[in-house]
Amino acid sequence: MSGKNKKAAQSSSESLPTGSGKVGKTDLPCKVKVIPQVPSELAIKIVDRGDSTHLFCRAIVTATGPSPSTAAVNQPSGDDGIANFGIVSPGQYQISYTLNGTDAPDFVTSKPFWTLSVGPDRNLKTVSAEPVNAVSPKLELISTETDQFLEASTTETAPALHAYAQPGALSSDPVGVTLTFNAAAFAGSIPASELTAKKKLTLTSTTAGVYTFTLDLADPADRFVVRRNNPATAVATKTTIAVLHEKDSQPVPDLSLVLKLGGSACTVKTAVPPVIRWMIPGASELTAITYTDPEDYFWEFVDITSS
């Protein structure tokens, strides 16, 4: 082999792979720098939205994740309102909770769930609850000297946060009673605003009997509002309470009969007997009577104290 060819072969052999399969300096082992992972710790605290000092213990808190995992873990909240989940994988979690039996009737979660990002170190996340607005219907029968009224209203525990906005249906059983408002016939449905302001309806009936009135509130359609003591009822009796009898054949004079109903004196002019009025149990029982009594006439009073 000539000197020139020998030199070329030697150069070629140096560039070829050796029997070990390694290619010179281009295939040296890589050194990977390992960064220690800081553990992620998750804790959830439940507080009252309107009062951060009010904590919720013994609630069941659920953490689902990290996304896209749907694995769920439950932990109870302690006396400090905190549910500790310990070491978890970092990522996004969906947080929800269920209040204990003592808190559940009066409070509700501010949101159905929270989406929280969990990073390194300890992650203390806060979620909230808020009071429900409990709405209750109320019916009250009111007797005055000239009229008898049915007052319909509602009471609410937290209207400033979530006011009740649905109507109430008012009905009577039997149906032989006319309810009027400002001399106009009442249609049977009362808007929420009028219930808040207390709607007073005049009772009118020419038929004696016992009538039950019912105020039924519509579904709030709001998870922050609940109905309590619904429906409300009230009972009134339309009855004859006094009859003027003629001793002789004398014309009936214009007499006055004074009834003391529920502590208030009501004068009933009786030009045309008998006297028929609404009697409201507990509020309008006949407790005392005074009347003018010409010697030719006498009054017969009907016992209505058990009405």
pLDDT for position 210: 80
Q: What are the tokens at 102?
A: 């003592």
Distance CA 113, CA 93 (A): 10
Q: What is the mean pLDDT of residues 182-189?
A: 80
For position 239, what pLDDT does the model report?
A: 64
40-131 CATH: 2.60.40.10
User: Can you name the CATH fold of 133-237?
Assistant: Immunoglobulin-like (2.60.40)
Nearest of 93, 208, 194, 213 to residue 150 by alpha carbon:
213
Question: What pLDDT band is residue 29 in, cutting at 50, 70 and 90?
Answer: low
The pLDDT value given to residue 159? 93
* DSSP secondary structure string for all residues of 209-254: EEEEEEEEEPP---TTEEE-S-SEEEEEEEEEEEEEEESSS-PPP-
- DSSP annotation of 284 reads S
Domain boundaries, the chain: 40-131, 133-237, 239-301
Report d(CA 67, CA 146) in Å as an integer.
72
pLDDT digits (tens, 9 = 90+) for 17-26: 444 444 455 5
Average pLDDT of the residues in 61-86: 95
* Tokens, residue 209: 């009997």
Q: What is the pLDDT of residue 162?
A: 93
pLDDT for position 271: 44
Write down the mean pLDDT value for the chain.
75
pLDDT digits (tens, 9 = 90+) for 89-134: 999 999 999 999 999 999 999 999 999 999 887 789 999 999 999 9
Using pLDDT thresholds of 50, 70 and 90, give the confidence band for residue 219.
very high
Over residues 245-270, the mean pLDDT reads 47
pLDDT-derived band at 295, boundaries 50, 70, 90 = very low
- Contacts of residue 55, defined as CB under 8 A and 6 or more positions apart, other chains included, come to 45, 46, 47, 48, 77, 79, 80, 81
pLDDT for position 243: 52
Integer Cα distance of 18 and 127 in angstroms? 66
Joined together, the tokens standing for residue 162 give: 């979530």
Q: pTM of this prediction? A: 0.66
Do domains 40-131 and 133-237 share one topology? The answer is yes
pLDDT at 158 over 80: yes
Q: What is the mean pLDDT of residues 9-37?
A: 51
Listed residue (16, 11, 50) closest to 160, CA to CA? 50
Contact 64, 94 (CB under 8 A): yes
Sheet architecture: strand order including 264-270: 264-270, 255-261, 286-291
**Residue 62 CA, distance from chain mean position:** 24
- Is residue 298 scored above 50 in pLDDT? no
